[in-house]
C-alpha cells in the first residue's frame, strides 16, 4: 500500500471520528445534579416550558440518575401548568411505562386523563380527543378504583358519553334536515344502541320516529315511540313523537 493511500485512509478515519462533534471533541454530559438544579431554578422562576424540557434532559443524559424519575414527573406537572396538554399526555404515557410501580404513578394517570378530559367539552370539535379521554379515564379507574381521582373519573367518564352522544345527535339532525333519512337513522341508532344511559337517548328515539315516518316506515316509527313512552312517558320528546304519529 503506497504512502499516499495510507495517509488518505488515516485522514478519512479522522474525519469520520469527528462527525457529530464540535471541533472533533465529543461533548461531555452535564452532571445530573447540575441539570436538576437548573431545571428547579427555571421552575421556581415560573419558566415552566424550559423547566420541563430541562427536566427531560435528565432522562436523555442520565437515565439511571436519582433525579431522573422525579424530574420526569416535574416535567409532566410543568407542562400541565402551561396547558401543553399534548406533552402532558405523551410524557405521562412514558412515565407509566417506565415507572409502573412508582409511588406517584397515580399522578401520571390522573394528569394524563385530565389532559384529554379538559378538551372534550366542545361537541363541534373532532371527537378523537373525547375517545382518548375515555381510554385514559378507564385506565385510571381500573388502576385506582377507590382513590379520589378514580371516583371522580367515573363521573367524568359519564360526561364523555354524553359528549359523544350529543355529537351523534348533531350529525343525525344535520342529515335529517338534508332529508338524508337513512344516514340520520344510522346516527340516531348509535345513540340508542351505544349511549342508552345518556340524556340524549330521549331525543334520539323521537328523531328515529320522525325519520322512519319520513320514509313511510310506520311500524318502525311506532316501535320507537312505544319504547320512548315506556321509558320516558313524561318527557317532552315523547309528546313530540306522539304528535308526529298522530299527524301521520
pLDDT digits (tens, 9 = 90+) for 66-115: 999 999 999 999 999 999 999 999 999 999 999 999 999 999 999 999 99
How would you label 197-218 residue by residue, b for 16+ Cβ within 10 Å and e otherwise?
A: ebebbbbbbbbbbbbbbbeeee
Q: Cell 340516531 belongs to which residue? A: 188
Question: Cα dihedral sign for 16, 21, 22, 26?
Answer: negative
Please write the tens of the pLDDT for every residue from 117-143.
Answer: 999 876 566 789 999 999 999 999 999
Task: Say if residue 245 is exposed, middle or buried (CB neighbours under 10 Å; 0-12, 13-18, 19+).
Answer: middle
Q: Cell 417506565 belongs to which residue? A: 98
pLDDT score recorded for residue 123: 55
Closest CA to 51 of 37, 31, 32: 37
Q: How large is the C-alpha radius of gyration of the chain?
A: 29
Neighbouring C-beta atoms of residue 154, cutoff 10 Å:
13
Please write the tens of the pLDDT for every residue from 166-222.
Answer: 999 999 999 999 999 999 999 999 999 999 999 999 999 999 999 999 999 999 999
Quote the CA–CA distance of 133 and 145 in Å, as a whole number: 17
Q: Tell me which of 20-34, 126-140, 145-159, 161-175 is least confident.
A: 20-34
Confidence of residue 18 (pLDDT cuts 50, 70, 90): very low
pLDDT score recorded for residue 92: 98
Say if residue 11's pLDDT is above 50: no
Say if residue 240's pLDDT is above 90: yes
Q: Grid coordinates representing 29?
A: 454530559
Say if residue 152's pLDDT is above 80: yes
Quote the CA–CA distance of 224 and 211 in Å, as a whole number: 11
Neighbouring C-beta atoms of residue 40, cutoff 10 Å:
16
pLDDT score recorded for residue 157: 96
* Cβ partners under 8 Å of residue 151, min gap 6: 145
pLDDT score recorded for residue 239: 93
Say if residue 19's pLDDT is above 70: no
**CATH tag for 31-116 (out of 1.25.40.10, 1.10.3720.10, 2.60.40.10, 3.40.50.300):** 1.25.40.10
pTM assigned to the model: 0.79
DSSP codes of every residue in 44-99: HTT-HHHHHHHHHHHHHH-TTSTTHHHHHHHHHHHHHHTT-HHHHHHHHHHHHHH-
Q: Can you tell me the mean pLDDT for 141-157?
A: 97
Task: Say if residue 165 is exposed, middle or buried (CB neighbours under 10 Å; 0-12, 13-18, 19+).
Answer: buried
Amino acid at each position: 500500500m503506497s504512502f499516499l493511500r495510507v495517509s488518505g485512509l488515516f485522514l478519512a478515519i479522522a474525519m469520520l471520528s469527528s462527525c457529530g462533534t464540535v471541533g472533533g471533541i465529543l461533548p461531555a454530559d452535564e452532571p445530573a445534579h447540575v441539570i436538576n438544579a437548573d431545571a428547579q431554578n427555571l421552575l421556581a422562576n415560573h419558566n415552566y416550558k424550559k423547566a420541563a424540557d430541562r427536566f427531560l434532559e435528565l432522562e436523555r443524559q442520565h437515565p439511571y440518575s436519582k433525579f431522573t424519575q422525579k424530574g420526569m414527573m416535574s416535567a409532566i406537572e410543568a407542562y400541565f401548568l402551561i396547558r401543553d396538554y399534548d406533552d402532558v399526555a405523551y410524557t405521562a404515557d412514558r412515565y407509566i411505562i417506565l415507572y409502573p410501580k412508582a409511588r406517584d404513578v397515580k399522578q401520571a394517570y390522573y394528569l394524563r386523563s385530565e389532559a384529554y378530559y379538559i378538551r372534550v367539552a366542545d361537541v363541534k370539535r373532532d371527537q378523537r380527543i373525547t375517545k382518548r379521554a375515555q381510554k385514559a379515564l378507564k385506565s385510571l379507574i381500573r388502576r385506582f378504583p377507590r382513590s379520589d381521582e378514580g371516583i371522580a373519573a367515573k363521573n367524568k367518564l359519564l360526561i364523555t358519553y354524553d359528549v359523544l352522544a350529543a355529537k351523534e345527535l348533531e350529525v343525525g339532525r344535520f342529515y335529517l334536515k338534508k332529508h338524508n333519512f337513512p344516514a340520520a337513522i344510522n346516527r340516531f341508532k348509535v345513540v340508542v344502541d351505544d349511549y342508552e344511559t345518556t340524556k340524549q337517548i330521549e331525543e334520539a328515539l323521537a328523531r328515529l320516529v320522525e325519520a322512519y315516518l319520513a320514509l313511510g316506515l310506520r311500524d318502525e316509527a311506532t316501535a320507537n315511540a312505544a319504547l320512548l313512552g315506556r321509558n320516558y312517558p313524561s318527557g317532552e320528546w315523547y309528546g313530540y313523537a306522539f304528535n308526529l304519529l298522530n299527524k301521520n
